[in-house]
Structure 1
Amino acid sequence: MKRNVKKFGVILLTSLLALSIAACSTSGSDQTQEGTTADGKTTEGAKLTNLSYWVSMHSAAAAQMKTYAEMGMYKELEKITGVKVDFEHPPSDAAQAKEQFNLMMVSEKLPDVIETSWIGYPGGPEKAIQDNKIIKLNDYIDQYAPNLKKLLTDHPDWKKQVTTDDGNMYMFPFFRGGDKVRVFYGPAVRKDWLDKLGLTVPTTIDEWHEVLTAFKDKDPNGNGKADEIPLYITLDDVALDAPFLGAWGINYGFYQDGGKVKFGPTQPEYKEFLTTMNKWYQEGLIDKDFAAPNSKLFDAKMTGNQLGAALVYNGGGIGKYANLMKDKDPNFNLVAAEYPVLKKGDKQMWGQKDFATNGIGAAISTSNKNPIETVKWLDYAYGEQGDLLFNYGKEGEAYSMVNGVPTFLPEVLNPPSGVSLQQSFAKHNRSTWSAPFVLSENFQMQYLALDNQKDALSIWSHPTGERKMPLVTPTNDESSQFASIMTDINTYKDEMFLKFIMGAEPLDNFDKYVKKIETMGIEDALKIQQAALERFNKR
């Protein structure tokens, strides 16, 4: 939620903070800061001039720069604070990045700042603190981070989401400031193909079957070839808030129903979903390559006029392909579709909607010799000037103030053909993915420049999300048991997901599949999740 830029006291505080950081950080300054390392030793005379910062690099940035240090906002932040950041980026491949993270976390020397999804750390963020990898931030935030402290005071529900069950703060979080920035992904369909075939945007599973069949059989791309791919849906898509699967009221993992935790892939409804997907696959309605997703191949199919429907992001999908296709095919029209239900009038319970935070944030490692100054540096993002810098970039280079509202420059909002809007923004800021700051709704409404994107925001916002689990974490004692159980179960359920849909495993064996998951310890995992949910509700 965009905070009021007219609050003089906050502006003054932020201005003083910026001067303080610059004075304490700039090379040649006589001012020093007394800090405390993780082992309790005082660091007298420490000046923050350099930071090592580990963070995965988004593809929109990687397409045009080697490091985030080349991004407009970070170049400007260095000028403001005097702090030079040496970014360490893992490989873009998710598996390789995870492997590098794991190797890094067992080393003796860690980067000063580590930005990742700490909810995914084995045992959760509290375990990372107790493993002596990152520092507890409660006192630091209370004393040296006035901007974040005020934000958490004003939004206690946000604070609940970024605090461990033990009451500890552990990161400078990424926050989505309002509902308009929390919905950004969902089903999309080629409206120009629908119009050509005299069809409407589908809303139920049966209507989707009718539309996909028409896409396959009636040559909507008009090239005289049977090369249309009706639907592109992957395991990753299904795992992200259950598109299509949600029509049966469940998801691909743990969910809550009336306060009771359940596991979607063992429910009877899951078999019904698999039966439907198997039928669609056998009929040629699902991309034959769905088991081996490839983003470049997906781009080629979409821009090659082959895909009829897919799960896409609003900016990195609807907006991206509209821009890429505006000269190539002026009729191209990718629009959002409702998350499907089984029957007309059914409640949409499942759809993508982030919490205020997604668990991603910047933690300070125990190797950091200047934690106090690092806290001040990170806190800058949550002040008024930092809010502008992180959401938009450098004034005059990326945006200007129009009637008191930060507004992107025309050359940023209208990149040349072949360059997506997300890539255009990535030259200046990280607002189209995540970083430790508060994402502004004003930014979002400029990012969603097209009517199709604004419509998508409305359409994809309809599901209630009432069964979604909050970002719970196990205790230290529960962690290793839960990880051991779920590592094996997740591997098995993913393998069987593909086998059931592709027909390699008969659906008659579904009960055997459920029994095997039960023997692997799912009941113990459910108990752990139930306890974690109850602890979260008591935070």
Structure 2
Amino acid sequence: MKKVFVKTISVGVSALFLSSIALTGCGNSADTPSASSQASTKPATSAAPAGPLTISWMVPQLTEENSYGQKYLEEKFNIKIKPYMIAAADYAQKQQVTLGGGDIPDVMMVLDPVSLQKYASQGLLAEVPVDTIAKTMPKYKAALDKDAPQAWFYSLFSGKNYGVTTFYPSGRFNAKAEWRTDLLKKAGIDKIPATIDEMTVAFEALKKIGVYGISSGAPGNQWFGLFKQIFPAYGVTPPQWMLKDGKVVSGAVQPEVKAALTTLADWYKKGYVDPDFVTGKDYKEKFIAGKLAYYDYGGALDTDESNASSMISLAKKTNPEAKVEIAPLPKGPGGQGDWAWGAAGNIIAFGKQLEKQPEKMKKIMEILEVVNMSDQGFTDLGLGKQGTDWDFKDAAKKQEGGIKLLAPNDNLDKRYGMGLGDGASFNPFTRQFAAEITDKWNPVVVEKSQQFNMPKVDLFGKPDVMPSSSKYWADLLKLKNETFISIVSGAKPVSAFDDFVKQWNTQGGEQLAKEANEMYAQVKK
């Protein structure tokens, strides 16, 4: 994203929201679909509770009931939490079923803008005026405005704000391209490939020793992840919105995509691409086992042998001679880069019933402000107890020397069960800490993340923020994935891309492009 646009949108979005979002509440019950259209001039009030507030809390993490994290929040903020324990893989579906059945939690994490639009249109969510956020969460809002101005698009529906977007500090950085350089050496390749042409040569050599060159994440679950470092080498990142000749266009239907698909189809035909790219089955495991040489979803610390969960540590368990190296993103005729989300994450939304319980909404906002914007919140909820759950790698250097998670509480599933974070930026309950906090505590991670960092961020942060996204987006993604997979695997010729472009436009893509240009023109004012 160009710096001029970031500056413009930061000012434009704030002005737009502060002027257009009124302090309105709803007097209808939470299970009435038409409640969103029945606004009163003031939110209803209720008597102060006699004891701790009980807050029902839904997040995509399998935390244990009465976990450390739950008790920490309850004791620190004088509340009682009723947790919904849902695995991340099942979250979207189970959230939809739960809300559809009339069970509306007080606070919930909504994964994407299109889901928020759907829930808001059904009258399930409470409106959250931006000036209320500014008064109750001043540090949090200031950090969003500074680092992730696109966040205000995520929680927008029909001119009103319906949540607080989470931070996503790691979204400032793209994933790391990683090579099993021990496999390259075995195949006779001494130099890490840095271009599409050099990758092609390496893949041919790897094929001769029975190793696949490349695969990709499961497109069904990670629709953005399909060969996400190859398309930018041709100048596009489908299906992000991008500026081209002064207009907002979808990267999914640009001619550069056809050129990238031509290369990918050729790679597949020659046996360079793992056939399981269609599902992403055992993607990481194959890289660790030495059956795949190139990995496009690596992390900044994957070459850290002191980290038991790093790629190099896991690979060495299989082969002590394994070697993993972070590499430049492949360069092609359109440049280089990789998909990145930007510093805005998901959305924390509130059940419709909280419009009648403003004290509860305020309490939740205060928790988000205190935890996500403070060093203590990071150490207490993100790390846990020093000496038991974590410690400094070097006591003298403290943060500058890095943080280590301590066994047996270094297993992430166990930590999440305890209601603890991953030691980087995430925690199960309040989600992500602000970048200004995480950077202070993980300077080593930040330094390594900046290596080969060429993030490609959607013009709006996420591509499904348009008003009509709930109507068209899911079907368009399905069309894109099916078409691209068919072309790469040879089930369809590359010329099928031309028919795809026509289908994309007639099945809602043209309408979304119209709305994207209108939105961009509005925030440029």
TM-score normalised by the chain length of structure 1: 0.73
> 1:133 deviation in Å?
1.3
Q: Which residue of 2 aligns with 1:342?
A: 332
Corresponding residue for residue 281 of structure 1: 268
**1:175 corresponds to:** 167
Equivalent in 138, 145, 152 of residue 156 of structure 1: 145
Other-structure match for 1:470: 461
User: What is the aligned-residue RMSD (CA, Å)?
Assistant: 3.6
In structure 1, the residue matched to 2:55 is 51
Look up the match of 2:451: 459
Match of 1:190 among 180, 187, 203: 180
Matched letter for residue 477 of structure 2: N
Note closer, same or farther for the CA distance 1:86–1:323 as it changes in structure 2 (3 Å cut): farther
Q: Could you tell me which residue of structure 1 aligns to residue 73 of structure 2?
A: 77
Which among 285, 288, 304 is matched to residue 300 of structure 1?
Answer: 285
- 1:106 equivalenced with 2:100 (yes/no): yes
Q: Secondary structure at the match of 2:268?
A: helix
Looking at structure 1, the residues matched to 161 and 116 of structure 2 have their Cα atoms a distance apart, in angstroms, of 17
| Aligned partner letter, 2:93 | E
Shift of residue 338, structure 1, vs aligned partner: 1.9
Aligned-partner SS, 1:86: strand
Change (3 A) 1:158 1:183: closer
Moved more, 160-169 or 369-378: 160-169
Distance (whole Å) between structure 2 residues aligned to residue 415 and residue 298 of structure 1: 27
Inter-CA distance 202–74: structure 2 relative to 1 (3 Å threshold): farther
Change (3 A) 1:203 1:433: farther
**1:286-337 Cα shifts (integer Å, max 9, x gaps):** 111111223xx23432332212112223069665322223444232222222
- Whole-Å separation in 2 of the counterparts to 1:174 and 1:466: 17
Alignment counterpart, residue 512 of structure 2, candidates 508, 520, 525: 525
Is residue 2:293 matched to residue 1:311? no
State the shift of 1:437 in Å: 2.9
Quote the offset at 1:262 in angstroms.
Answer: 1.5
Note the residue ranges of structure 1 that are not aligned, 5 or more in a row.
1-37, 220-225
Q: CA deviation at 1:75?
A: 3.8
Q: Which moved more, 1:97-106 or 1:206-215?
A: 97-106
Give deviations 1:62-108, integer Å, cap 9, x for gaps.
Answer: 5xxx53753x4444333323434232133443xx4322222233343
For the structure 1 residues 163 and 484, does the alpha-carbon distance in structure 2 shift closer, same or farther, using more than 3 Å as the test?
A: closer
Code of the residue aligned with 2:292 in structure 1: it is L
Aligned residue for 2:363, secondary structure, equals helix
Structure 1 partner of 2:362? 372
**Matched residue, 1:3:** none
User: Paired residue for 1:88?
Assistant: 84
Matched residue, 2:442: 444
Tell me the equivalent position of 2:19: none
Cα 1:374–1:524 shift into 2, 3 Å: closer
Q: Which runs of 5+ in 2 are unaligned?
A: 1-41, 304-308
Structure 2 counterpart of 1:379, which letter? E
Q: Distance in 2 between matches of 1:335 and 1:68?
A: 40
Is 2:362 the counterpart of 1:394?
no
Question: In the aligned structure 2, how far is the partner of 1:266 from the partner of 1:473?
Answer: 16
Distance (Å, rounded) in 2 between the aligned partners of 1:534 and 1:46: 50
Shift, 1:39, TM fit: 5.2
Q: 1:388 to 1:507 in 2, by over 3 A?
A: same
Provide the C-alpha distance between the structure 2 equivalents of 1:409 and 1:75, rounded to a whole number of angstroms: 27
State the secondary structure of the residue aligned to 1:114: strand
Number of aligned residues: 458
- Cα distance in 2, alignment partners of residues 114 and 425 from structure 1: 20
Quickly say closer, same or farther: Cα 1:254–1:390, change in 2 above 3 A: same
Give the counterpart of 1:203 among 194, 207, 219.
Answer: 194
Determine the structure 2 residue equivalent to 1:8.
Answer: none
Q: Is the 8 A contact 2:400 2:443 kept in 1?
A: no
With over 3 angstroms needed to count, the CA separation of the structure-2 counterparts of 1:138 and 1:374, relative to structure 1, is same
Cα offset, 1:54, TM superposition: 0.9
**2:239 aligned residue:** 253
Question: Which is worse superposed, 48-57 or 84-93?
Answer: 84-93
The amino acid across from 2:236 in the alignment is I
How many Å separate the matches in 2 of 1:159 and 1:138? 15
Does the Cα contact within 8 Å between 1:122 and 1:483 map onto a contact in 2? no
Q: Matched residues in 2 for 1:522 and 1:156: separation?
A: 29
**C-alpha separation in 1, matches of 2:122 and 2:114:** 15
Compared CA separation, residues 364 and 405, structure 1 to 2 (3 A): farther
| TM-superposition CA deviations, 1:263-306 (whole Å, max 9, x none) | 22322221111111111111111111111223xx2343233221
Residues 1:230 and 2:230 are matched in the alignment: no
Query: Does residue 1:135 correspond to 2:118, yes or no?
Result: no
| Residue 265 (1) aligns with residue 268 (2) | no
Kindly provide the CA deviation profile for residues 194-230 of structure 1, in whole angstroms up to 9, marking residues without a partner as x.
233242111111111111111111x2xxxxxx3x222
SS of 1:352's partner is strand
Q: Which of 343, 346, 364 is equivalent to 1:356?
A: 343
Supply the AA of the counterpart residue of 1:201. Answer: I
Of residues 310, 322, 344, the one that matches 2:312 is: 322
In structure 2, what is the equivalent of residue 67 of structure 1? 64
Structure 2 match to 1:4: none
Match of 1:512 in 2: 499
Residues 406 and 472 (structure 1 numbering): CA distance in 2 closer, same or farther, change over 3 Å? Answer: same
| Displacement after TM superposition at 1:363 (Å) | 2.1
> Secondary structure of 2:450's partner?
helix
Residue 406 of structure 1 deviates from its aligned partner by: 5.1
Shift >6 Å, 4+ stretches = 407-410
